Structure 1
């Protein structure tokens, strides 16, 4: 389901109220709508998703099995928006601003899409291009939403526009709410026997190379029509993408404790690090290697603040001298391998990341005791996340791939 096909949240709220109250009349009264408007909203949802969501009985409106699937996702989406609206409304009243409108009931899908696009692009013009709308329309949608909120959602900066904390909160919750409705479409198709879906996996640079391919190979046969993306990138950007719903899960070294209260970490296995060099490196034949030996050579290292870089910095601090000059910083495993193979540079890596090169004799682990505890590798997920069938299948395949893996070299 594309962003343009997302249903109106007013229709979703009418659907939810009808399901919980078992009554179109009760839903209309609580939503301040007419009964025909509620009936129309439900009809449009049923047409959009090609499902019958209610059984109309003499005693009321009862969700069908497909209706129950839809209700779970709709309620999760509405809870996300309601929570953001409550926090923003409390702030508006605390700051003695004009009484805010009921944001969760008044905000439109168009306004929320505009807000998300502005948060992702940093300007009204770029946001308009991203969602294929005219810039005045996006600007008006954003400003109308700000009026409803009763608090500033945007602030001008030197190179565009940024969201305020309230704007970021609403954009994040709206993005996750849209993801829930997209997931509803996948859940409904799966319940009808249609085997497809969409999965976006975030991986950290230098994550163990064989794990994700092995998991994908193990499950894609059952999902031949699934749309799967694997996105590699630095931790901070991937974490933000996870929290806003741009990716479904993040695979790599865990931070422990989890870096935010809305995500959780699940360890899959524990890994250790080694100093890696090319075959024939001057240090490769040594039985003992000291810190002074290591400082004589150049190094390839990941960027600052990553767990592996912290191991490198700790290793270099074991002596009194400064770290060696001329470091090459990269998050690309392809570049790192090439530098190791074509020079006397060294790197700290998991041996599992260079399994093929070590087995074929291209690279080797040096006998250097790093004295580091095993590091947890695993999944970072949104807290209270409810995966689709495809997402659950990939996690199961990932766990199977770990279980089947050979013992460390």
Structure 2
């Protein structure tokens, strides 16, 4: 997922954060290695861009206004993520575009900058940091380990600055802000749509982007700051030390098949031989649902689960495969509610209860903006009302 990043002057935010922290132009200028006139000019330009005063100047020093107090913690966090005072906003934008596109041509298309400008900015960034950030592989580039760490840090820095600017805009009474949601399959059935309907009615000026994908496709962008929160089946916490998982509700997948299937008859026995007699369509082996199926089949048959000929995570594709064959799958009834209601498909409870926990995942230490916090509160509200 490529996001067009604005070019922000990192030094302006460093000047703001230092002045809030020290309350004095003299001490702040010394802290960020700027002259007093340069620091004063940086703050003035930032005030002009934001359209509000960030400080009240007086004999006692520089008193931060509310917008400055909102923005300063975000700026501090961003500067820490960037990790070097020598990095410029242009370099950050160029490197993030290259990291996400995987080539200078793709980055140029995403940003509107020339490939030569991007080359120069990335080369200058490597010199400023004293690190080799990319390796060329023909027309594409691969990030070095140092490049991967820097890309993640820069992405998180931009996420902090976007959040800070949104909070200032909110203080000014402007409808602003953006929430990017990573949605795994089950969350898209009822939980997320109902939450979105309520949220846009209460916060009409806030943009919401939904990025669909599997856990493996979404967890990287979440860690990189491209996605704010991820919805879906929770994972083993031992592998997610840098992420926080909040349970929302429990889902009980069922056996799903075409209407008229031999096992759709309530009188049909769902024992091991019956379940092993038909082909299965299931998600990949690294998903919780597949692990639950493995456990269920081992218990039912007393041996290793049968071979799965078709692995598929698309509910639309699975639906068509079920309708046109005697295949079975394991899915939440909520994901196929329409097909079940009209009698196109049939569902039966699993021979042994299968349960998975669905919830919200976000970065450890993430500080949501007011609209983001309101969205999470609505997710909790909708979950408790049974929209799952």
| TM norm structure 1 | 0.88
Deviation at 1:306, TM superposition (A): 0.9
Q: 1:115 aligns with which of 70, 85, 95?
A: 95
Aligned to 1:355: 337
Match for residue 366 of structure 2 among 385, 396, 401: 385
Deviation digits for residues 3-50 of structure 1 (CA, Å, limit 9, x no counterpart)? 564421111111111111111121222222211111110011111111
Residue 240 of structure 1 corresponds to 220
Change in Cα spacing, 1:31 to 1:143, as seen in structure 2 (3 Å) is same
Q: For residue 272 of structure 1, what is the aligned residue in structure 2?
A: 252
Q: Secondary structure at the match of 1:33?
A: coil
Question: Equivalents in 1 of 2:158, 2:166: separation in Å?
Answer: 13
In structure 2, distance between residues paired with 1:326 and 1:180: 44
Instruction: Show the 5 A alignment for 1:81-160.
Output: 81-82=82-83, 104-157=84-137, 160=140
| Partners of 1:327 and 1:73 in 2: CA distance | 49
Structure 2 Cα separation of the partners of residues 396 and 168 of structure 1: 33
| 1:7 correspondence with 2:8 | yes
Shift of 1:159: 5.8
Name the SS of the counterpart of 1:283 in structure 2. helix
CA-to-aligned-CA distance 1:326-380 (integer Å, 9 cap, x gap): 72222211222232233322100122323343344433322532354x3211011
Secondary structure of 2:360's counterpart equals strand
Q: Paired residue for 2:155? A: 175
Q: Is the 8 A contact 1:265 1:381 kept in 2?
A: yes
Deviations 1:33-69 (A, max 9, x none): 2111111100111111111110111100010011111
Go from structure 1 to structure 2 and tell me whether the alpha carbon gap of 1:14 and 1:296 turns closer, same or farther (over 3 Å shift). same
SS in 2 for 1:106: coil
Q: Could you tell me how far apart the structure 1 residues matched to 2:34 and 2:335 are? A: 59
**How many matched pairs?**
384
Relative to structure 1, is the Cα distance of residues 123 and 367 closer, same or farther in structure 2, using a 3 angstrom cutoff? closer
Q: 1:280 & 1:365 partners in 2: Cα distance?
A: 11
Residues 82-131 of structure 1 show CA distances to partners (whole Å, capped at 9, x for unaligned) of 3xxxxxxxxxxxxxxxxxxxxx1111111111211121122223222222
The answer (yes or no) to whether the contact 1:78–1:177 under 8 Å persists in 2 is yes
* Contact 1:288–1:368 (CA under 8 A) maintained in structure 2: no
CA distance in 1, matches of 2:69, 2:368: 16
- Correspondences of 1:71-90 after superposition (within 5 Å): 71-82=72-83
Q: 1:378/1:109 Cα in 2 relative to 1: closer, same or farther (>3 Å)?
A: same
In the aligned structure 1, how far is the partner of 2:131 from the partner of 2:257? 57
**Residue equivalent to 1:314:** 295
Match status 1:281 vs 2:274: no
Find the counterpart in structure 2 of residue 225 from structure 1: 205
| Alpha-carbon shift at residue 381 of structure 1 (Å) | 0.1
Give 2:234's aligned residue: 254
User: Please, which runs of 5 or more residues in structure 1 have no aligned partner?
Assistant: 83-103
Is 1:198 the counterpart of 2:178? The answer is: yes
CA contact (8 A) 1:287 1:367 kept: no
After superposition, give the CA deviation of every residue in 1:249-288 in whole Å (9 maximum; x if it has no partner): 1000000215333211111112222211222211111342
Contact 2:178 2:207 (8 Å CA) reproduced:
yes
Q: Distance in 2 between matches of 1:405 and 1:305?
A: 28
Please tell me whether the aligned partners of residues 7 and 93 of structure 2 are also in contact (alpha carbons under 8 angstroms). Answer: no
Aligned residue number for residue 212 of structure 1: 192
Summarize the Cα distance change of 1:68–1:367 in structure 2 as closer, same or farther, 3 Å threshold. Answer: closer
CA RMSD, Structure 1 to Structure 2 (Å): 2.1
Cα displacement (A) at 1:389: 1.8
Match of 2:324 in 1: 342
Q: How does 1:283-298 map to 2 (within 5 A)?
A: 283-285=263-265, 286-298=267-279
| Per-residue deviation, 1:180 | 1.2
Q: Output one character per residue of 1:161-188: Cα deviation in whole Å (capped at 9) or x when no partner.
A: 1111111111111111111111112111
